[in-house]
Amino acid sequence: MNSSKSKSRQLTEKQILKQSQSKYMSAEQLAFFKNRLLELYETTGVRIQEAKDQMATSPVDFSDPNDRASWEEQSNIALRIVEREQKLLPKIQKSLERIRLGAYGYCLETGEPIGIPRLLARPTAEYCAEVKEVKEIKEDQYRD
C-alpha cells in the first residue's frame, strides 16, 4: 500500500491536465514542475557538453574539402546548440526560484494563471499566452 501511495504523489501529465482549476499550482503540481525543471536542467547540461565535445573533435584529414566543409557545418550547428541551450539554463533557474517563492505558474505581467498545457509545453514560461503573443508582435515590429 505504501508503494502505491508514493506513486500517486508523483503526478503524471494526464493527471495534472484532468485536475480541477482549484488545484492549480497545488503542492503536488509544484513538485511535478520542480522535478520537470530539474530534469530539464540536467539534460540541457548534458546536451551542452555533448555539443562542446563534438566541436572539440577535429577531423583527421583536412585535405578533402568536402570533409572539411562537412565538419565546419557540424561545428556551426553544435555552436548554435550550445548558445541556445546556455540561454535556457538561467530561465530554468528563474523558474525554480519562482517555485520557491510561490509565484510559479502565474504571468509576470498580469498575475493570471499561465495554464497547465502551456507549462507542460514550456515549463520556463513566464507569461500567459496572450501577453507573450503581444510581446512577440512588438518584438517583430521593432525588428523590422
Least confident of 2-16, 73-87, 112-126: 2-16
Q: What is the CATH number of the domain that holds 84?
A: 1.20.120.910
Give the residue, 61 or 108, on which the prediction is more confident.
108
As a whole number, the mean pLDDT across the chain is: 86
Residues with Cβ within 8 Å of 97's Cβ and at least 6 positions away in sequence, in order, are none
pLDDT at residue 5 in the model: 43
Estimate the crossing angle of helix 65-101 against helix 27-56, to 10 degrees.
Answer: 160
**pLDDT tens per residue across span 97-137:** 999 999 999 999 999 999 999 999 999 999 999 999 998 88
Domain that holds residue 111: 22-143
Note the Cα 27 to chain centre separation in Å. 21
Task: Flag whether 11 is in a domain.
Answer: no
> pLDDT tens digits, residue range 15-26?
999 999 999 999
Asked, for residue 36, whether it belongs to a domain, the answer is yes
pTM, two decimal places:
0.79
3-state secondary structure of 115: coil
54 or 118, which is more confident: 118
Closest CA to 108 of 128, 91, 138, 89: 128
Nearest 5°: phi and psi at 107?
A: -60, 130
- Domain assignment present for residue 16? The answer is no
**Amino acid (one-letter) located at 64:** D
